[in-house]
Structure 1
Amino acid sequence: MAERDIGEPAAAPGLRSEAPGDGATDRRTLPLYGAGEVDVPFVVLSGAETIAADTFWDVHSHPTHELLWNEEGASSAVIGGRIWTVTPAAGLWIPAGIRHSGWTPAGIRHRAAQFAVDSVPSISDVPVAVELTPLLRLLLDRLDADGLAPAARARTEAVVLDLLAPARNELTLRIPESPLLAPIAATVRDDPADATTLAAWAGRLGVNTRTITRAFRAETGLGFSRWVATARMQHAVAMLARGDRIDDVAERVGYHSASAFGAAFRRITGASPGRFPSQ
């Protein structure tokens, strides 16, 4: 079965999407597999790795469904032009055979669980966020433990599968690639505090505001303001997950007060800044 290709990855805002040439980044190349192309001797296989250096994962795909999350900190995955933020609270389900790439900063405790396609139906035909509740994390930890008896493993796997479901909120963003919108995306990626208004961008690019608004909705599904706010929140989550103070994060992503930042954060993510990077 051929791998499912939903597009080549785009650059993640605020996160490097290609390895620099100075050797500071670990670049990993993994195979492209189709869904179920390799028979695996497990139902769920959970593993963990502490990432020693900033790591870029080249485009790859798995014969199994994959669930990604972190024990601490934030990483990103890129699928079909969408940037997904992965944290201890918000994992990412990637159906088998779907191509993806990723970026994991140094120091992240990275977790991944593989699910056999012949035993586990995908919870979605497309990538979706999964809420990593404390119970679900404990059960996945148990599957990672050595010496778990077969009967106990089977019971644990059954409960894990029962708990898996798409989250109500997900932090994902499609990156526009048209020549018109690319300068806007690049600016927000490099400086989430940039305060250039829609009208100012229209003047700078020589078009009217409706042209930019229509282009954003056509390429990303979001209006200009919502897209910028979502891009800012992806930056914010990465900062919060590494322990930065809320007041500092608010200022660095362009908000004049923690209360204004908190309101925007809740509107985009469905959670408060203090609770989002649950560890």
Structure 2
Amino acid sequence: MWNDPVLDVLALGNSFAVRSLVREGEAAERYAHQHSEGQLIYVERGTALLETPDAIVRLAPDRASWIPPDLPHSVFIERSFRYHSLYVSRVLYSLPTLRVITVSPLLRELILESGGWDKRNVSFVQRHRKALVIADELGLASTVPVNICIPKDSRISWICSLLESNPGDSRSLQAWADEAGTSAKTVQRAFTASTGLSFHQWRHQVRMARALELHAQGMRVIDIALAIGYATEGAYALAFKRYYGHSPGKLRAAKGP
């Protein structure tokens, strides 16, 4: 006999602990919306941009994002994709903060399998048993820092959004200040007050975060360098090593031939 208070609560409402929705296509835009349940987004193919009022997260197949209930968010995808949305009952799991996690092999297989539960008529109890494992894996997963936070200061939030979208934009601090109709000192002070970083440090952080994503896609080092604003492969490799402590070539070696 299955004795589980969570299962009993869900059964009374005739609802599942985890519902799965799979989306795929060439491009997609879902502007600000929210859900009454928590949502786990996992990109099986391609990359996705997840935007909340306080952060921008780029998702690739090595990570997933937990979106707590009632948090407004947007999703933008520019190329061919396939991603999974798991809607998780508050009764089962309800972490109240945004979290980006590494996806273990077990969690990945459960996410992929959940997309076929309806077609295979998986029973209520079977779904719940697997949902419990999903909840356990969410609790055990390592957190990936959400490095790219968009400041709320309207003087610079638009600059940050544009740089996150295109980290290869090499305009100077003065050029951004001119476009904003203010001084470079004012923009610099706003960055320091809102992020704890200078303009150049914040942009460098965005570039290094995007570099990892492009490496994961298998791009050549020279192409990554040009895409994120470096004129040469050598300049990029030096900046990468100073930031991460090892050369980008080590990533290629870790992947193997």
TM-score range, shorter chain: 0.7 to 0.9
Answer with 184-193 or 88-97: which moved more: 184-193
**Counterpart in 2 of 1:129?**
100
**Counterpart in 1 of 2:58?**
85
- In the aligned structure 1, how far is the partner of 2:158 from the partner of 2:124? 55
Stretches of structure 2 lacking an aligned partner (at least 5 in a row) = 1-12
- In the aligned structure 2, how far is the partner of 1:49 from the partner of 1:110? 5
Answer with 226-235 or 192-201: which moved more: 192-201
- In the aligned structure 2, how far is the partner of 1:99 from the partner of 1:275? 40
**Counterpart in 1 of 2:10?**
none
Answer with 220-229 or 106-115: which moved more: 220-229
SS in 1 for 2:192: helix
Identity of counterpart residues, as a percentage? 24
Instruction: Return the offset for 1:164.
Output: 0.5
Instruction: Return the offset for 1:57.
Output: 0.2
SS in 1 for 2:101: strand
Q: Per the alignment, do residues 171 and 230 of structure 1 end up closer, same or farther by CA in structure 2, a change over 3 Å counting? A: farther
SS in 2 for 1:77: strand
- In the aligned structure 2, how far is the partner of 1:275 from the partner of 1:77? 30
Q: How many residue pairs end up in the alignment?
A: 230
Instruction: Return the offset for 1:167.
Output: 3.8
Q: Per the alignment, do residues 60 and 182 of structure 1 end up closer, same or farther by CA in structure 2, a change over 3 Å counting? A: closer
Q: Which amino acid aligns with 1:105?
A: E
Match of 1:47 among 21, 32, 36: 21
Q: Per the alignment, do residues 216 and 85 of structure 1 end up closer, same or farther by CA in structure 2, a change over 3 Å counting? A: same
What TM-score does the superposition give when structure 1 sets the normalisation length? 0.67
**Counterpart in 2 of 1:260?**
238
- In the aligned structure 2, how far is the partner of 1:225 from the partner of 1:247? 22
Match of 1:156 among 130, 133, 151: 130
- In the aligned structure 2, how far is the partner of 1:163 from the partner of 1:218? 37
Q: Do residues 61 (structure 1) and 34 (structure 2) align?
A: yes
> Which structure exhibits the higher relative contact order, with contacts defined as CA atoms closer than 8 Å and separated by 6 or more residues?
1
Instruction: Return the offset for 1:155.
Output: 2.8
Q: Which amino acid aligns with 2:99?
A: V
**Counterpart in 2 of 1:251?**
226
- In the aligned structure 1, how far is the partner of 2:158 from the partner of 2:125? 56
Instruction: Return the offset for 1:229.
Output: 1.8
Q: Do residues 188 (structure 1) and 163 (structure 2) align?
A: yes
**Counterpart in 1 of 2:6?**
none
SS in 2 for 1:218: helix
CA contact (8 A) 2:169 2:229 kept: yes
Matches for 1:133-148 after TM superposition, within 5 Å: 133-145=104-116, 146-148=120-122
Q: Do residues 220 (structure 1) and 195 (structure 2) align?
A: yes
Q: Per the alignment, do residues 192 and 89 of structure 1 end up closer, same or farther by CA in structure 2, a change over 3 Å counting? A: same
Instruction: Return the offset for 1:215.
Output: 1.1
- In the aligned structure 2, how far is the partner of 1:43 from the partner of 1:179? 40
- In the aligned structure 2, how far is the partner of 1:75 from the partner of 1:264? 27
Structure with more of its chain in helix, by fraction? 2
Q: Which amino acid aligns with 2:110?
A: L
SS in 2 for 1:249: helix
Q: Per the alignment, do residues 266 and 81 of structure 1 end up closer, same or farther by CA in structure 2, a change over 3 Å counting? A: same
Q: Do residues 230 (structure 1) and 205 (structure 2) align?
A: yes
SS in 2 for 1:174: coil
Deviation per residue, 1:125-156 (Å, 9 max, x gap): 22111211222101222323324344443332
CA contact (8 A) 1:54 1:106 kept: yes
Instruction: Return the offset for 1:175.
Output: 3.0
SS in 2 for 1:106: coil
Q: Do residues 74 (structure 1) and 47 (structure 2) align?
A: yes
Deviation per residue, 1:79-135 (Å, 9 max, x gap): 1142111111121111111111110223111111110112x2323x22111211222
SS in 1 for 2:130: helix
**Counterpart in 1 of 2:183?**
206
Stretches of structure 1 lacking an aligned partner (at least 5 in a row) = 1-38
**Counterpart in 1 of 2:82?**
109
